Structure 1
Amino acid sequence: MSGIGAAPAARQSLTSISSGELRRLWTCDCELALLPLAQLLRLQPGAFQLRGDQLVVPGPAEPAATRGGFNVFSDGLVRLDGQLYRLSSYIRRYVELTSYCDYKDYRETILSKPMLFFINVQTKKDSSKERTYAFLVNTRHPKIRRQIEQGMDMVISSVIGESYWLQFDFQEAVKNFLPPGDKVVNGENLSFAYEFKADALFDFFYWLGLSNSTVNVNGKVVNLSSTSPEKKETIKLFLEKMSEPLIRRSSFSDRKFSVTSRGSLDEVFNCSLSPRSSLMEPLLAELPFPCVLESEETPNPFI
């Protein structure tokens, strides 16, 4: 009958990735992804290791970091199977920047690798238990990269040398993906922000809170949960390809505040699930700076 509309598509389960999705699993199609943290640890032992009460993540100065990996955004702690673990290295979800050099380093760092956030989910089936998931943001996907870069560029052009606060939030994307009745317990973990404090004499808009902005990043979330050995092997290759080192042929040195990254799509994007490219090629230099990166060498107020 003409008066009856088509039924909305049912949301997928978090139990396992479908065979149809698996056949289309390419890094160039993935904008955002979600999978159990325990599964991520098993599939990426070179990037994450549990040692006692610590979850070890290679920092920028460690040799393993040159092989790619993920930028972990956190407050320093993650809960897995009821136990609390300290992170050895991570990017704080909130940082203060006071110079163009800080801003440039921060921008290059957060876009150099896929982003990773830890969240706890309560399911409608059993609300008494929480499962820990890893939420991945593919910063090499043009749609995702564009939203982050444009958000940073637009706020700069609007404040004209004044102080400002900018937040990027993924809560809506995850909320729309989860099955009805499931909810994220610690939704604030799906965001990160930075505050740029300019040396301005009169920061009226900043003082009044009018220079605060939030960018709600939108994208399609891919379910990477699976119990099948065959599917897990494909997901492992997918994660390795996504987290390969970013090799750029252009320089960041001439980037201005109001200009987005100039690298072409083939420089930041690769659709193939072939083995890793040669590690002899030059890698993107990572610049650790105290105001952003936390590690065991830096006292952590959250631990």
Structure 2
Amino acid sequence: MARPSLTSISSGELRSLRTCNCELALLPLRQLLLLQPDSFQLRGDQLAVLSPPRHQPGGGFTVLGDGALHLDGQRHCRLTGYFKRDVKLTSHCDYKDYRETILNRPLVFFANIRTNNCSSEVSEKTYAFLVNTRHPKIRRQIEHGMNQIISSVFGESYKLRFDFQEVVKSFFPSESHLVNGEDLSFSYEFKSDALFDFSYWFGISKNTVAVNGKVLNLSSTSPEKKEIITMFLEKMSEPYVRLNSFSDRKFSVTSKDLIDVFNCSLTPQPSLTNTPVIVW
């Protein structure tokens, strides 16, 4: 069975494109820059992750990185506005803020894939890997990992790592090579004030969660498809609003007008402006 290609998103996928269909997603970084100029901008040798506008607090994307990337394997870029992949927490307040940061916005990682073409030349392309932390399956894996390690350490220090390398590797053809696999992970280390951290010292309280899910191909060169993908990304990155306990349990994502975007239509409609119109 052939693996999915990032040449173009299929018409079948496009017709069913909803935020509730997306657990994980991949698209070329250069395409993301074109579709989301209000969130990502390449300025010389700097790739800037922009804060959401004032009228949309809490929205946008959380980019996890180390401060640099090689764009398509050739151009070295500094990354600004990102959140560190590996952090240390020293208080429950730090932990609460960190948990909200991870779970309240879609996460973005940058991955370089190296392939051999027909002429045996090696090419390398940078992709944006999106993690929809509002999707029940993805959210459940992250929350379960966090809750489980807390219940097992009894107030001692611990380190928890979430890894997406295998799910990305399995998406691309076997002849492709993931160059920077370590960049597809994030971790946090909680340092307690316990006098003796035996479990931490001996590595017992250091766990890794390999997150799995279906990867959605968001790559396309068609103008019509690009418009739908643009609207999809905008809906995915809208502010996360909790309406009630039922919504919390269902992990639904709502727009600023309190409309469930899991059920919205993304069909492009004619408009007098350049702003895409979403029909509910």
Q: Which category describes the TM-score, using the shorter chain as reference length? A: 0.7 to 0.9
Are 2:223 and 1:229 equivalent residues in the alignment?
A: yes
1:159 corresponding residue in structure 2:
153
The separation in 2 between residues aligned to 1:239 and 1:124, in whole angstroms, is: 30
Query: In the TM superposition, what is the alpha-carbon distance from 1:101 to its structure 2 partner?
Result: 0.4
Whether the aligned pair in 2 keeps the contact of 1:66 and 1:245 (CA below 8 Å) is yes
The aligned amino acid for 1:268 is: V
Query: In the TM superposition, what is the alpha-carbon distance from 1:276 to its structure 2 partner?
Result: 7.6
Aligned runs of 1:151-230 on 2, under 5 Å? 151-230=145-224
1:268 corresponding residue in structure 2:
253
Are 2:60 and 1:66 equivalent residues in the alignment?
A: no
Aligned runs of 1:1-303 on 2, under 5 Å? 9-59=1-51, 63=54, 66=57, 68-81=59-72, 82-125=74-117, 128-249=122-243, 263-265=248-250, 267-268=252-253, 270-271=261-262, 272-273=264-265
Query: In the TM superposition, what is the alpha-carbon distance from 1:86 to its structure 2 partner?
Result: 1.4
Please, what TM-score do these two structures have when normalized by structure 2?
0.86
Shift in alpha-carbon separation, 1:262–1:163, aligned structure 2, 3 A: farther
Secondary structure class of the residue paired with 2:99: helix
Secondary structure class of the residue paired with 2:152: helix
Query: In the TM superposition, what is the alpha-carbon distance from 1:55 to its structure 2 partner?
Result: 1.3
Whether the aligned pair in 1 keeps the contact of 2:116 and 2:123 (CA below 8 Å) is no
The aligned amino acid for 2:15 is: R
Secondary structure class of the residue paired with 1:10: coil
1:83-128 CA distances to partner (integer Å, 9 max, x unpaired)?
1221221111100001100000000111110000001001242662
The aligned amino acid for 2:240 is: L
Whether the aligned pair in 2 keeps the contact of 1:244 and 1:276 (CA below 8 Å) is no
Query: In the TM superposition, what is the alpha-carbon distance from 1:23 to its structure 2 partner?
Result: 1.1
**Structure possessing the higher relative contact order (Cα contacts under 8 Å, 6 or more residues apart):** 1
The separation in 2 between residues aligned to 1:24 and 1:166, in whole angstroms, is: 35
Query: In the TM superposition, what is the alpha-carbon distance from 1:32 to its structure 2 partner?
Result: 0.3
Query: In the TM superposition, what is the alpha-carbon distance from 1:53 to its structure 2 partner?
Result: 1.8
Secondary structure class of the residue paired with 2:20: coil
The aligned amino acid for 1:263 is: D
**Once the two structures are aligned, what percentage of the paired residues are identical?**
63
The separation in 2 between residues aligned to 1:63 and 1:202, in whole angstroms, is: 46
CA RMSD of aligned residues (A): 2.2
Whether the aligned pair in 2 keeps the contact of 1:59 and 1:65 (CA below 8 Å) is no
The separation in 2 between residues aligned to 1:151 and 1:74, in whole angstroms, is: 21
Please, what TM-score do these two structures have when normalized by structure 1?
0.80
The separation in 2 between residues aligned to 1:122 and 1:163, in whole angstroms, is: 38
2:271 corresponding residue in structure 1:
none
The aligned amino acid for 1:155 is: I
Secondary structure class of the residue paired with 1:40: helix
The separation in 2 between residues aligned to 1:13 and 1:26, in whole angstroms, is: 20
Per mean C-alpha deviation after superposition, the further-off stretch among 138-147 and 225-234 is 225-234
The separation in 1 between residues aligned to 2:242 and 2:39, in whole angstroms, is: 22
The aligned amino acid for 1:168 is: F
Query: In the TM superposition, what is the alpha-carbon distance from 1:20 to its structure 2 partner?
Result: 1.2
The separation in 2 between residues aligned to 1:121 and 1:193, in whole angstroms, is: 23
The aligned amino acid for 1:26 is: R
Whether the aligned pair in 2 keeps the contact of 1:249 and 1:267 (CA below 8 Å) is no
Unaligned 5+ segments in structure 1 are 1-8, 252-260, 278-303
The separation in 1 between residues aligned to 2:222 and 2:43, in whole angstroms, is: 27
The separation in 2 between residues aligned to 1:142 and 1:188, in whole angstroms, is: 25
Whether the aligned pair in 1 keeps the contact of 2:231 and 2:278 (CA below 8 Å) is no
The separation in 2 between residues aligned to 1:96 and 1:67, in whole angstroms, is: 23
The aligned amino acid for 2:142 is: I
The aligned amino acid for 1:41 is: L
How many matched pairs? 259
Whether the aligned pair in 1 keeps the contact of 2:134 and 2:251 (CA below 8 Å) is no
Query: In the TM superposition, what is the alpha-carbon distance from 1:262 to its structure 2 partner?
Result: 7.9
The separation in 1 between residues aligned to 2:56 and 2:64, in whole angstroms, is: 16
Query: In the TM superposition, what is the alpha-carbon distance from 1:248 to its structure 2 partner?
Result: 2.0
